[in-house]
Structure 1
Amino acid sequence: MAFCFIAFLFFFFGADKLTTDAALDPDGLVAIAVCHGFALFVAVAIGANISGGHVNPAVTFGLALGGQITILTGIFYWIAQLLGSIVACFLLKAVTGGLTVPIHGLGAGVGAIQGVVMEIIITFALVYTVYATAADPKKGSLGTIAPIAIGFIVGANILAAGPFSGGSMNPARSFGPAVASGDFNGIWIYWVGPLIGGGLAGLIYGNVFMNSDHAPLSNDF
């Protein structure tokens, strides 16, 4: 159950700001990006030696397709991640007197297909970063910065994609608020996009770069 606790911590401290139906302004977007970046950095760091630091079904899916974890383990992680998200969102709602838990949504003029493509791109970047800094056995000392690198890419992706697709990258992060608010409008976008993006990253990195005999480039210049 340790990984359930890690997932709970992530979604409690990294959840989108609670609002009274306020619009997502630039200041709010920066706050959300910074909050998620730092929270994910801590969640991955404290959970890496216990459960692998899994807090995202798309990352778990990508690692399973790349052969880093078993399907059964991935299912248990998914259950913990979804439960962590749901419990955290209801707890946030309770301790703040019932403030709105906002769901992910597309920006003005952004179509569903565009949202899915954006989520594919940014989730691919996230899972590729996870592979390069944490999963690849050739990472060497680079592994020490894996948690902060993962946090940074999530923060950057939220800043870049937030106004368009919401910058989810994480089906559980979208599912918990949807359950707490009872609004599942467009939730499929935040499952389809991240799972495709994470899966592609896992297949490409896991089968092209990890299952080959190439040597890392020398750092001597």
Structure 2
Amino acid sequence: MAPKVDGIEEEEISRMESGGVTNSNSNSNSQSNAKQGFCFSPIVVTTAQKVVAEIIGTYFVIFAGCGSVVVNKLYGETVTFPGICVTWGLIVMVMIYTVGHVSGAHFNPAVTITSALFRRFPWKEVPLYIIAQLMGSILASGTLSLMFDVTEKAYFGTLPVGSNGQSLAIEIIISFLLMFVVSGVGTDSRAIGEFGGIAVGMTIMLNVFVAGPISGASMNPARSIGPAIVKHEYRGLWVYVVGPIIGTISGAFAYNLIRFTNKPISELTKNGSFLRNKSNDDSS
């Protein structure tokens, strides 16, 4: 038993003099931390910020892009098809520069899944991002439905104009191009990052020009699922889920094959680093 001074053990005095805390204080602090730790954890706060950014970003991408479709169909082709293409490209570019530094500006479940597959994004956040993207799309689609008298002719979702196979093929191709560009400007340290948003926005615009009259140029499951749920129009919806996912995975894989590395191909295929795509493998 340690000797006491005025009823306080010398060990306790020693701990207090050295800047330590008493057992009672430790218990109190641990209980306080337990109450505040989860909600105020930096990880939880940061993840919540990312999710909110994805909801808001996806909302305005769908609101502006699909809104241009609705306005064009309901008000005598005032926006025009080129105007719709430019609108999609501009809104994606604007939102990339607005929240890209917060969440990465995915706005697209296919991009999120592909990023996680190639070790550019944590798998644990994938469900949260997909839920956020779908929520943003549904909210935007609901807003447009409340604002406009959306007839069947003015439907702002995506439907195959020809066969499902034709639309599937073109969705794979344009999604390939989109992810190929994203991989080049967004994940390669040699790229000029400041122009990444412009490159991605221009790619969206070009893809809508080419594929818009055929498939609607979705490239994004959330872009098609949101309007489908709100307007209860599910024809060919699987095309806009399967096509973009296959296309984005293929596009990322293709870029990783041509990405510069100082390792021989035999070593890349042996340890799988062409999939992992670590930044330290890419430095020249």
TM over 0.5: yes
**Aligned-partner SS, 1:15:** helix
> Aligned AA for 1:43?
M
For residues 26 and 197 of structure 1, the distance between their equivalents in structure 2, rounded to whole angstroms, comes to: 32
Distance 1:6 1:27 in 2: 22
Distance 2:78 2:203 in 1: 19
| Contact map agreement 2:159 2:215 (CA 8 A) in 1 | yes
Residues 14 and 39, structure 1, Cα contact 8 Å, conserved in 2:
yes
Counterpart of 1:67 (choices 102, 109, 119) is: 119
Query: In percent, how many aligned pairs have the same letter?
Result: 31
> Displacement of 1:2 after TM fit?
2.4
Distance 1:3 1:20 in 2: 27
SS in 2 for 1:48: helix
Q: Which runs of 5+ in 2 are unaligned?
A: 1-51, 264-280
Counterpart Cα distance in 2 of 1:199 and 1:187: 19
Distance in 1 separating the partners of 2:242 and 2:166: 12
Unmatched runs of 5 consecutive residues or more in structure 1: 217-221
1:13–1:39 CA contact under 8 A, matched in 2:
yes
Residues 110-119 or 152-161, more deviating: 110-119
Q: CA offsets, 1:78-97, max 9 Å, x none? A: 11111100000101111235
Q: Which residue does 1:159 correspond to in 2? A: 209
Which one of 212, 216, 219 corresponds to residue 169 of structure 1? Answer: 219
- Give the Cα separation in 1 of the matches to 2:77 and 2:206: 16
Pairing partner for 2:241 from 170, 175, 191: 191
What is the TM-score with the length of structure 2 in the denominator?
Answer: 0.68
Bigger Rg over Cα? 2
Contact 2:176 2:247 in 1 (8 A): yes
Say how many residue pairs are matched: 210
Given that 2:72 and 2:78 are in contact with CA atoms closer than 8 Å, whether structure 1 keeps it comes out as no
Q: CA deviation at 1:102?
A: 2.5
Following TM superposition, where does structure 1 have runs of at least 4 consecutive aligned residues deviating by more than 4 angstroms?
19-22, 24-27, 97-100
Deviations 1:20-74 (A, max 9, x none): 976x979632122111000000011111110011111122222122211022222
Q: Please show how residues 113-132 of structure 1 align to structure 2 within 5 Å.
A: 113-132=165-184
SS at match of 2:103: coil
Give 1:213 deviation, angstroms.
Answer: 2.5
Aligned pairs (5 A) from 1:1-221: 1-16=52-67, 17-18=69-70, 28-97=80-149, 100-107=154-161, 110-139=162-191, 142-206=192-256, 208-210=257-259, 212-213=261-262
